[in-house]
């Protein structure tokens, strides 16, 4: 069997389905499901992904009157939620609020997964973009990247950092930053942002890497300090945060995303219906402001646009992974 041909065929078919789902009209018009709606989140309650999902769910409840619950399924860098979505009912009652730290990163870094992000999940709508943040515990008395570099040289046994998702840019960014500053940094795996934040606050971990949204509230409260972000330019959510490019490491610039997904068996009409509803919520000024407050630069899209963004990031992250000296496991 020609695997390359099969892959191209699957992508063409998937892209066609996404394009169809982006069209609204009588032939595709469908109502949203009634009853309880579950939104899967692949990380623990209290982290950035969970907080953003709950803000969006609250607005969806107001608009639809539906019983919408957040179903946290932490584990395996978010893969557990993806596996559950693959096998979820195709009636639109189960969605996933996913980050590229899972959907894209796991596709790039794992040789085998229990799901295929391009075949088993269908992209519904982009929710926004987010960059990676490198943060240090307030207990080490460091406030800038140069100060951190000096601290690392004086504390060679603490040249490690916690990552909210191994095999994602929250892993690669820290490793590549270590290469760039000339101090090797070793990643330590955490099951999401919440346990890492707990260890950083208590001083059990000296540094960590995750989404800006994971640490922003704690940074503002001086419980920890974000010393660099991966965004190509300063973010609206926190214009005081220095970018890694302006700190002298432009090759490390990176921007990830959050989006909504469904099981691939969902009809084009349901995808279109959810896309319309989600975009209405995400494009509202008050929701954009609330999401900005937790570090997400809100931005919506068609299903096809999200699918294309995902494909482009897969190519980019493959190159970054090689640069970090990491092989698929």
Fold of 132-252: D-Maltodextrin-Binding Protein; domain 2 (3.40.190)
Of 220, 224, 273, 318, the closest CA to residue 91 belongs to: 273
- Separation of alpha carbons 217 and 208, rounded Å: 15
pLDDT tens digits for 193-214? 889 999 999 999 999 999 888 8
Helix (H) or strand (E) holding 195: helix 193-202
pLDDT tens digits for 76-119? 888 999 999 999 999 999 999 999 988 998 888 888 899 999 99
The yes-or-no verdict on residue 69 having pLDDT over 90 is yes
Backbone phi and psi for residue 208, each to the nearest 5 degrees, phi listed first: -155, 165
- Separation of alpha carbons 120 and 114, rounded Å: 10
Q: What is the pLDDT of residue 13?
A: 41
The yes-or-no verdict on residue 14 having pLDDT over 80 is no
β 132-137/256-263 pair status: unpaired
- Separation of alpha carbons 60 and 68, rounded Å: 8
Domain ranges of the chain: 3-19+31-130+256-323, 132-252
User: What tokens does 111 get?
Assistant: 């040789």
- Separation of alpha carbons 329 and 111, rounded Å: 6
Q: What is the pLDDT of residue 323?
A: 81
The yes-or-no verdict on residue 44 having pLDDT over 80 is yes
Q: Which CATH number applies to 3-19+31-130+256-323?
A: 3.40.190.150
Q: How confident is the model at residue 6 (pLDDT cuts 50, 70, 90)?
A: very low
- Read off the pTM: 0.76
Instruction: Give one DSSP letter per residue of 43-103, joined into a string.
Output: S-TTSHHHHHHHHHHHHHHHHH--EEEEEE---GGGHHHHHHHHTS-SSSSEEEEEEHHHH
Q: What is the pLDDT of residue 9?
A: 38
Question: Which residues have a Cβ under 8 Å from the Cβ of 308 and sit 6 or more positions away?
Answer: none
Q: How confident is the model at residue 159 (pLDDT cuts 50, 70, 90)?
A: very high
User: What tokens does 137 get?
Assistant: 């515990």
User: What tokens does 126 get?
Assistant: 């982009």
């Amino acid at each position: 069997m020609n695997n390359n041909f099969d892959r191209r065929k699957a992508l063409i078919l998937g892209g066609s389905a996404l394009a169809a789902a982006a069209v609204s009209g009588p032939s595709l018009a469908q109502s949203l499901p009634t009853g309880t709606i579950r939104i899967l989140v692949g990380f623990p309650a209290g982290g950035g992904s969970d907080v953003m999902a709950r803000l969006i769910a609250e607005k969806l409840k107001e608009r639809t009157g539906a019983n919408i619950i957040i179903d946290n399924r932490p584990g395996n860098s978010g893969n557990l939620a993806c596996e559950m979505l693959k096998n979820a009912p195709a009636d639109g009652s189960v969605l996933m609020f996913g980050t590229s730290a899972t959907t894209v990163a796991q596709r790039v870094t794992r040789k085998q997964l229990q799901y295929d992000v391009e075949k088993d999940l269908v992209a519904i709508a982009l929710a926004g973009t987010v960059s990676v943040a490198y943060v240090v515990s307030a207990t080490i008395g460091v406030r800038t990247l140069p100060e951190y570099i000096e601290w690392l040289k004086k504390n060679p046994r603490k040249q490690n950092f916690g990552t909210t998702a191994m095999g994602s840019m929250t892993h690669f960014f820290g490793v590549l930053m270590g290469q760039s500053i000339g101090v090797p940094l070793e990643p330590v795996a955490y099951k999401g942002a919440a346990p890492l934040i707990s260890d950083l606050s208590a001083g059990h971990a000296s540094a960590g890497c995750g989404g800006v949204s994971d640490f922003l509230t704690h940074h503002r409260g001086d419980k920890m300090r974000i010393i660099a972000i991966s965004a190509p330019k300063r973010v609206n959510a926190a214009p005081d945060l220095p970018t890694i490019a302006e700190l002298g490491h432009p090759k490390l610039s990176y921007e990830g995303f959050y989006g909504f997904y469904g099981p691939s068996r969902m009809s084009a009409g349901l995808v279109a219906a959810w896309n319309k509803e989600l975009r209405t919520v995400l494009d509202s000024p008050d929701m954009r402001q609330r999401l900005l407050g937790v570090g997400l630069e809100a931005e919506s899209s068609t299903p096809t646009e999200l699918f294309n963004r995902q494909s482009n990031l897969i190519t980019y992250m493959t190159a970054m992974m090689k640069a970090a000296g990491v092989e698929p496991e």
